[in-house]
Structure 1
Amino acid sequence: MPNYQDDVTETQLYVPLRGNAYGLLAGAPAAAFVRSLKVAAVMHDQLFLDEGSWSGIAGPGGKTEWRDPQGTGPGGLTLQPPRERAASRGRDWHIAMRPSDSEGPMRAIIRSSTTLSMRATFEPIRQSLPRAFEWIDFVSHDLYPDDKRLTKRLASAEVRDGLLSEAFPDRFTRSLIAESTMHSLVLGMRMGAAVRLDGLHRSVLAARLARGEARPTLGGHALVATIPDVRNLPWEEVDEVRKMKGIPRLRAILADVEMAALEATAEGGDLDEAILREYHEQYRRATDDAGWTGHAVSVLLGAATSVATTPLAGPAGIVVGVGMAAATETGSYFLRKRRRRDTWMAAADDLRARATRSHGDSN
């Protein structure tokens, strides 16, 4: 029996094969997926990715899918090339069976042409990692029978959705997409994790998001809008960034920034511009409140005050007074500097510097 809570941590993200199969193609789409995974690694404490492979095919006559934790199914553990998916459209396929106690010919139980054929695996991404990171787990969880029935009930409403009907006229293809989406969400819910979906599977949730029955995980878009090159960080740099003390607070700030920007652009406007305005306002307010901009003035003022109020007479008294004030203010300066190093602003600055450097190295 599956145990959904084995690997759950405070902020986690589940990345299912089913819910990302449409966008996970070889070449540029896979590279874009890896970049988005790096953003997720900065924004979440733990990532869970399905191991093995998943395949699904659907058309006017029926649908079927395979989940293989060992990756021994069609295509094995390789990414699906875009050309393969395109070539499969319209191609006939069937599923044949016969009773286990019969030696007669197998009989087709499903015959159909192909509307959509997907297969996906994260294994090439796993192999590309420089080492095993403790914050990325490759897992093989499944739903309880009751949850699988719940998935089908939830998906049935989405099959009738106008958006899917426009893109995929046949019911079985819409059913495959909707059930894959709901299976991913229900399993993520049981794991206590947010769920990452590709664009097609996210579109299934559009109506539920509008009704408030589901809510997006905020912050990732704001991170990319403010520090675009974070997507190009090497994995080892991502690991270092995650260790910064200010990162948890930075995640919360970015979520607040994205929420404020979404509200500001609800009636229209550029979301990225709104994010940048809100982020810089948050940054300015935080630095002003912390007093990071007044270090030099504070040191000079402290020295001048000490000279004026020292009880010792003569040049020696002045020298001692200045020395004592400088030592006190220097100590305060380094204390403030250490405190600043642990803030979300410092984490953001460090992250920006690393991302900019990695962008330069890649050119």
Structure 2
Amino acid sequence: MTALHLRGVVLPEGEERDLWIVNGRIRAEAVPGAETIVDGGYLVPGLVDAHCHIGLAVEDLDGAAQQAEQDRDAGTLLIRDCGSPLDTSPLQERLDLPRIVRAGRHIARPKRYIRGIAEEVDPHDLPRIVAEQAAAGDGWVKLVGDYIDRDLGELAPLWPDDILAEAMKVAHEAGARVTAHVFGPDALAGLIDAGIDCIEHGTGLTDDTIAAMVEHGTALVPTLINIETFPGIAAAGAGKFPRYADQMLDLHARVRPTVRYAIEAGIPVYAGTDAGGGIAHGRIVDEIIALHEAGMTTEQALGAASWTARGWLGWSGIQESSAADIVAYAEDPRVDLNALRHPTRMILRGRVLH
């Protein structure tokens, strides 16, 4: 394989450097005869979508691959897949698709999530199914923490606290981390106290649960562009479930200040679009901009979808011997995040993507 050469301002350090790529790895020392593919501009560690669904709402792996291609073309080179009924592990062998960190299937109680998506289990079976999904995924397990209870007509938790604690122990002993879909406030304390590693959406966070997340080191992926769908969800359910509709409208109305408080409190916050879950793939830049509007600096918001998110998922940024997953831009995205919409070059696994 021909060695590649790039010159540009490397983020997050902000220093102009020369880099070389050999056998998919970054080198800091010059490699004679390397082909220069970037000369100037800004070099960003491959973007990350930390809440994405590859294989959701499609029939087969071809459809899932098309979803991954859409994300890749927007600069996303690493995906944490947050649950899919389709086994997408064969896509991990394709060198032209983003790296995918899989969570297996969602885990929910019967009739307490979207039909056909989750592994539906009774509460006493949760630890056993968590063990199975930990083995099926790539170090993550995805729970449904709350959803509409049709008998109550509103959002309600799915799992007893003691069962959650046992399930977290099982996952952690298997070397897996656990995350959960949570919209409302009532399920959060039990999940956090049980030792969950991440909360998805988190629109129902309060001062107490934000403090608990800080204490436990729990991460948050707020999926802000997904939350923009809440008014439509409320309108669709208002006739049959008016309390649920009111909940969703209230959560939507206060999501930006809620996320701002979480950021200011020091909760690790990462960018995730919820693509596939009613959101189109390829919208990571919209989520980065939404995080900035919610209170992050431009550099923090970019890091939440690049170097800090990569570190959280076990991948490095742009440094000696790290995997060569790089996106180049002509303009500084720290000045205007919309620059992220116009990559000039993408390198994935040391290969130039065309």
TM-score (ref. length: structure 2):
0.29
TM-score (ref. length: structure 1):
0.29
Q: Which has the higher helix share?
A: 1
